[in-house]
Structure 1
């Protein structure tokens, strides 16, 4: 009995001590929450900043800034970002200038970064080691013993403490990312986690999945060789200087201090970059900066980080080494911002009142004791341990350039799974950030030409619009303008990734020469090709795969018509009876269907609170994944009214005041999305094809005040769902009516495109979320493609009954972001404070 009492007492002691510890961590976490950061625009995600002490009894602490993902926090991975140097801040650079959600501006305010990585992940920025940024130690001797090993050990201790403060992220997939000298930090920290996980108890295991390093210093010899080769191949240094460096300098790992002649040649090398930003050779330099120098010391500081064993024997290096964003003066803005007392208080920073000012790169780190000449053996070890590793490189960085990356990777003699190919299209990887000069892809040669043509064309439109000969019909002129842009966007999209440059040039030539009618037909065919592809992907997702059944022939009879299973896959829970010609499919919930669609076409859509920084912005349409320029992003659902049936639109005649879901095509066709409500989000079937409408007549006939007007039935309508006619409204792209207008300093990323869907496309009809009001049929003459001669459309021919629908087309590459459309608000409504016309003159033409 005594033993039982003792065990019981021990149990409660442990229970209450654990509860107290958890409660204490929770209080620390809430104390770290940032709520009043000066100059910050309003956001809907949470962020935290503060210190994690590395040793309980000593004042050695690392500073962090953590941003929860902008959506789906519980399922997004956790990503640690590290800047290089060594000795440079991941907050002053990574968070505030490159990939964080807020970018520091010259006026001391923050603006939203539309390419922030917290759109894809929960982002953790760490200032490491001590002496960097706000991270501190009360032992000055610590500053003399810093090096790669201490940095890895301290970063690991930080993570252990951070996960105690944020235990809900313990099981998230964890990745370590960084740039430049983080090519040392990330692999060494990952190796330490790998070894510690072998020895640790379950509660201390870190769920590391991989590392990602960009323009990374990973092998001294090849890094330095690649840096010189890059400068020579880009005509920054002369042939003679290139030859002198390679003849006189020894880049090998076991080389001793270099000769004076070699250092002199490198002096000339650095002078060649005196008026060029070495981190982005095509970007402007900051004329307000005093960092440029061709002094002998600058040679050591700049080149030393590429190969510290060779050049500086572990001397510290300074802020000459740091990356800059596209505004070359942004480091100056960050310095001023983070030295402000109100900013430091809001971030819970500088609690010990450091004796030195905040600098993006440390001026107090006095020595660097260890830096291996290569981390390639560590990377190979991590590969063998089955970690995911991505080494990538931007092609305009001269500091740790693409040549260095290629040389270093070749040193590992890895097996090639996919042969070298041309770079991904310029629209890909925009998630890496327009402000990340190390990572930003360059467009193919045809793209600047297209952009130039768009600009010239729009300028011409503004001039023509003022010409009296066009004053009678400015709206039609704007229609031709929009169609010309759509021709360029959608035709380029249809070319595909492996198209020849000549094909792109042909598109541009046609955009300026082809008759408007021909361009309009081509746009229709381009859009139809994408919609057809979407429908096929939906069939693949929802219809059973009969090809694997040995009891059936892989070929259908010529007379067989493929039916869609959409109505039953995502409709009512009960399965249809007495219907044998429609394949059965298992029900798919919204998340599963969306993920399958994303796997097929690269993206899917979602409705979430808008990122427009205003409380009245409401819900917004978001693209999850990546979409190329010219892609069909969304379909506008709803009931289609011709001008002859305007009087039946609910709320007529002041329908625009009462219904924000109305939209009008250039041909005056109106689509009312209001019956769709939440559209695809409802997962409902529209049972019975009638809607009540008000119809005030001239005679005042009371019986006609309330009419039930029959909607046109879908082609080959089936008696489904126990005998009720139904229109399936669960289309994963039927969200276009949720696209928001861009706020100030934001730009539209999609545009409206009229799409005449041919009702005769039987296999596709069930996926189109539109119906005609009344049994009205509209015919259109289709002449087919005039340019894409191979793979001619199946919709060529004579009169074809159509649905006059609308789709949203991407005007640039989209990646994990809100979809923004330039639309008109009702003139009878007061504009919200966040609403700013994109181009008032163009809007007058479009909606006149």
Structure 2
């Protein structure tokens, strides 16, 4: 498909400077001609490849860019950046392959089928594997894998955005830049580890803050940034702890005595190294809950032990990073196929380890993560950015109660009180509009809302892009 979009390279000092277009040969180099096993006549153009964000360290991030279908006019559609947290989990594995991408992987691990509710029907979607060491992203400096953190991840993501994005989306007259994320993390299993692994849904607010601050005082902003959308997101440690334990108790997953013990023994301020009493309480909670899928408590769990790689770890001790429904195995197979990597222009340096959905090294050595995102939310709300927060109501890992407590702590005036929203006459969830922030609950959805309720997630995304309330 021919179109007027082209890649840009911005040579920036403090991320500001002059931009110029790459050659058509460079653009063609990143074009995906066809993915192995994809359906015929998909009707949209794809690109993938690497951008070096630190020349000295040899630090390069891998991306997959999917345009809206030609029939929907990609030139007039906004650009949406999708980031997965974990930290250390792949946006390709989760966001693209399980949630909002155009393809899903069949059980054979070799063929693809179309997702009718792909978000690229409404926008041009960019998936970024970040930081280096996650997925196909790499660094030639091995210490980078042990020193990643929130701050460097946000800065490197901004460098990526500045260095390689279609210029159509950067101009002040374009539809604008949106930024969205679902955090991927899972509950603590039998083996407890108390090293410092911080599940992060911090990437998006932090990146949004940097973009906003860099744009200040610039006559023609480098990035036409409109707002962000996060779902089932770790927001504030104190309120997330309170809300999570309350959810377990009110859903009948734990006993009264364990609920009381959790409230006393698990102190959010020392959560990076939970006490023995906290570990005891969390172990009791796990046993009382039984063999359920904590990411979607009314969905059957995957009982294939060979596919599960659960560890209890770190900052939120009931979470490990890699949400692992059985479908994750299909990604593990597909993205390790040599012909798939060749089609993606991936693994060009011959990384001496297989592609994984999550990096244990990056996740287990996370360097920095603030206790709360609320100060950033306050700053960006004051800036007038569009901020939407959504929550699937069957997620027991970062549940809706945790999200509601965190939002309540912002003490925002209410514009539109709590109301049901609908899809074809059926309740799809509930919503409340605050001054500067919109909260949406999606009924029957787990942690990865678009995986469990793809149509409802699609309606949510469309409302966000149009900046309209959920349909009532």
| TM-score (normalised: structure 1) | 0.45
- Are 1:393 and 1:438, in contact at CA under 8 Å, matched by a contact in 2? no
Q: Which range moved further: 233-242 or 371-380?
A: 233-242
- Are 2:177 and 2:227, in contact at CA under 8 Å, matched by a contact in 1? yes
Q: Does 1:393 align with 2:404?
A: no
Q: Does 1:299 align with 2:315?
A: no
- What does 1:674-823 align with in structure 2 at a 5 Å threshold? none
Structure 2 match to 1:79: 80
Structure 1 match to 2:203: 185
**Counterpart Cα distance in 2 of 1:441 and 1:424:** 19
User: Cα offset for 1:435?
Assistant: 9.0
- What does 1:147-186 align with in structure 2 at a 5 Å threshold? 147-163=149-165, 166-171=166-171, 172-180=175-183, 183-186=201-204
Q: Secondary structure at the match of 2:21?
A: helix
- Are 1:395 and 1:441, in contact at CA under 8 Å, matched by a contact in 2? no
What are the superposed Cα offsets for residues 84-109 of structure 1, whole Å, 9 maximum, x if unpaired?
10000010111011110000111121
- Are 2:297 and 2:446, in contact at CA under 8 Å, matched by a contact in 1? no
The one of 445, 448, 456 equivalent to 1:438 is 448
**Counterpart Cα distance in 2 of 1:211 and 1:119:** 18
Structure 2 match to 1:100: 101
- Are 2:100 and 2:450, in contact at CA under 8 Å, matched by a contact in 1? no
Asked which structure has the greater RCO (Cα within 8 Å, sep 6+), the reply is 2
Structure 1 match to 2:52: 53
**Counterpart Cα distance in 1 of 2:168 and 2:403:** 36
What are the superposed Cα offsets for residues 152-191 of structure 1, whole Å, 9 maximum, x if unpaired?
000000000122xx22222331111011256311000000
Q: Secondary structure at the match of 1:125?
A: strand
What are the superposed Cα offsets for residues 665-714 of structure 1, whole Å, 9 maximum, x if unpaired?
xxxxxxxxxxxxxxxxxxxxxxxxxxxxxxxxxxxxxxxxxxxxxxxxxx
Structure 2 match to 1:528: none
What are the superposed Cα offsets for residues 231-290 of structure 1, whole Å, 9 maximum, x if unpaired?
111111111111111132223x47784331121111222334551111111112222243
**Counterpart Cα distance in 2 of 1:410 and 1:385:** 19
Q: Secondary structure at the match of 2:44?
A: coil
- Given the superposition, is the C-alpha separation of residues 93 and 440 from structure 1 closer, same or farther in structure 2, using an over 3 Å criterion? closer
**Counterpart Cα distance in 1 of 2:159 and 2:272:** 35
Structure 1 match to 2:189: none
Q: Does 1:359 align with 2:351?
A: no
- Given the superposition, is the C-alpha separation of residues 260 and 174 from structure 1 closer, same or farther in structure 2, using an over 3 Å criterion? same
- What does 1:24-423 align with in structure 2 at a 5 Å threshold? 24=23, 26-42=24-40, 43-70=42-69, 71-107=72-108, 108-163=110-165, 166-171=166-171, 172-180=175-183, 183-198=201-216, 202=220, 205-251=222-268, 253=269, 257-290=273-306, 298-300=311-313, 303-304=316-317, 320-324=320-324, 328-365=325-362, 366-423=364-421
Q: Secondary structure at the match of 2:359?
A: coil
Count of matched residue positions in the alignment of Structure 1 and Structure 2: 407
Structure of greater Rg: 1
User: Cα offset for 1:304?
Assistant: 3.6
**Counterpart Cα distance in 1 of 2:203 and 2:335:** 24
- Are 2:274 and 2:317, in contact at CA under 8 Å, matched by a contact in 1? no
**Counterpart Cα distance in 2 of 1:321 and 1:290:** 17
Gaps of 5+ in 2: 1-16, 184-198, 430-439, 454-465
- Are 2:271 and 2:314, in contact at CA under 8 Å, matched by a contact in 1? no
- Given the superposition, is the C-alpha separation of residues 93 and 274 from structure 1 closer, same or farther in structure 2, using an over 3 Å criterion? farther
- Given the superposition, is the C-alpha separation of residues 283 and 255 from structure 1 closer, same or farther in structure 2, using an over 3 Å criterion? closer
**Counterpart Cα distance in 1 of 2:272 and 2:101:** 40
- Given the superposition, is the C-alpha separation of residues 353 and 292 from structure 1 closer, same or farther in structure 2, using an over 3 Å criterion? closer
**Counterpart Cα distance in 2 of 1:93 and 1:119:** 18
**Counterpart Cα distance in 2 of 1:418 and 1:193:** 29
What are the superposed Cα offsets for residues 529-560 of structure 1, whole Å, 9 maximum, x if unpaired?
xxxxxxxxxxxxxxxxxxxxxxxxxxxxxxxx
Structure 2 match to 1:579: none
Gaps of 5+ in 1: 1-17, 307-319, 444-598, 603-624, 629-848
User: Cα offset for 1:373?
Assistant: 0.3
- Given the superposition, is the C-alpha separation of residues 440 and 118 from structure 1 closer, same or farther in structure 2, using an over 3 Å criterion? closer
- Are 2:240 and 2:398, in contact at CA under 8 Å, matched by a contact in 1? yes
- Are 1:184 and 1:217, in contact at CA under 8 Å, matched by a contact in 2? yes
- Given the superposition, is the C-alpha separation of residues 272 and 350 from structure 1 closer, same or farther in structure 2, using an over 3 Å criterion? farther
What are the superposed Cα offsets for residues 204-227 of structure 1, whole Å, 9 maximum, x if unpaired?
611110010000001111112211
Q: Secondary structure at the match of 1:300?
A: coil
- Are 1:82 and 1:182, in contact at CA under 8 Å, matched by a contact in 2? no
